[in-house]
Amino acid sequence: MTQEKIWDYFQGEGLESFSGSVPRLRFLFQKVFRTYGSRQPKVLNIGVGNGWLESRCVGQKWETYSLDPSDVAVGRVNRIGSVGALGHIEAMPYADKFFDVVFCSEVLEHLSNEQLSLGLKEVNRVLVKGGCLIGTVPFNEQLIDNQVVCPDCGKVFHRWGHLQSFGKAKLRASFEASSFEVIIISTYAFPDFSRRAIKDKIKSSARWFLGRIGSPIAQPNLFFIVKK
């Protein structure tokens, strides 16, 4: 099964699977908003998901671009006012020094070693000097835990298409190899604090705390900001 087939499925029948990403994307959006305030950065989101992040950026009057390998996803963000393009991180259709901020959340783990190296160099190329790459990857994922087998052909593959597992040291080394300055790499979980029941608030608080210490039970992510 190719990555394109996986992405096409989740942009169609599986779109609802992105609903749990909202707390994570809100966190990233707020980080950039606090940095830029009333200024209007030119931003790129790599990997569209359900378009939530694009909607917030467009609503903030930021000049917003999106890159995704799914034409369904690109069409969706174009309809909400982002400038969508079909493509991949390792060969982006943008000029040098074009963006102030690049969002890249839950994308790098989908890349081969060669794609990861090329992709980060491409991000560096399209960022202005002093521009930031901000995003997340799963923390210390055990890839074998999410392997499944196709009942038709017998091929074994990762259910989400992940090819990489990142700890802090590996992620830092990947960024530094592409000439980025690492600002922060830290563990976080992103529970949904919008749920009103007291027991849900307690569960969310516990998961947030466990995520900050990198406990596997919280299914934490590595949050990063790096600068060109």
User: 26: domain CATH number?
Assistant: 3.40.50.150
- Rounded Cα distance between 31 and 211, Å, is 18
More confident residue, 165 or 49: 165
pLDDT of 4 reads 64
State how far Cα 4 lies from the chain centre: 17
DSSP 43-85: EEEES-TTSHHHHHHHHTT-EEEEEES-HHHHHHHHHTT-EEE
The range of the structural domain enclosing residue 161 comes to 3-227
Confidence bin at 2 (pLDDT 50/70/90): low
Taking residue 95's Cβ as centre, other Cβ atoms within 10 Å add up to 9
Residue pair 183/101 in contact by the 8 Å Cβ criterion: no
Global pTM reads 0.89
Tens digit of pLDDT for each residue in 198-221? 888 889 899 998 999 999 999 999
How many domains is the chain partitioned into structurally? 1
